Amino acid sequence: MSSPDFKQVIDAFARDRRVTVGGGKGFGSGGLKVDGKLFALMSSRGQFVAKMPKQRVSELVAQGKGEPFDPGHGRLMREWIALRDGEGDWLSLAREARRFVGGGS
């Protein structure tokens, strides 16, 4: 699946009891959470954003598959990768982020 919209990503986690959508206010309020911890979201600038280990973010950036996420205050978040619509496989990256944040199960 290549570049699904975020609703398709959300739908892919519908059967995962540990995953919830939204809740709260501010950063990640409409994002996907595993056990209450944010792992994927859509930014206010329309970027798909996922949490990954710093090394993995660096690999993806080096491959031209995204950029470190800047939430808008000029400080890059090194464990978050940001992709524009049409970039990368959002679902695959969301699954990888879910494993990273949720401990693999």
What is the domain-level CATH number for residue 59?
3.90.1150
Q: What's the pTM value of the predicted model, to 2 decimals? A: 0.88
The answer to the question of residue 1 being in a domain is no
What values do phi and psi take at 78, rounded to 5? Answer: -70, -20
Average of per-residue pLDDT across 86-102: 91
Q: What is the pLDDT of residue 103?
A: 83
CA distance readout (Å), 68 to 62, 81, 93: 11, 5, 14
Give the span between the Cα atoms of 63 and 8, in whole angstroms. Answer: 25
Nearest CA to 30 out of 43, 16, 15, 47 is that of 43
Average pLDDT, the chain: 87
Q: What is the pLDDT of residue 53?
A: 96
Q: Residue 38 sits in which domain range? A: 6-102
In this prediction, residue 35 has a pLDDT band, given cuts at 50, 70 and 90, of very high
* Residues in Cβ contact with 64 at an 8 Å cutoff, skipping those fewer than 6 apart: none
Tokens describing residue 88: 């990368």
Model confidence at 25: pLDDT above 60:
yes
Q: What is the pLDDT of residue 75?
A: 85
Number of domains in the chain: 1
pLDDT cut 90: percent of the chain above it? 61
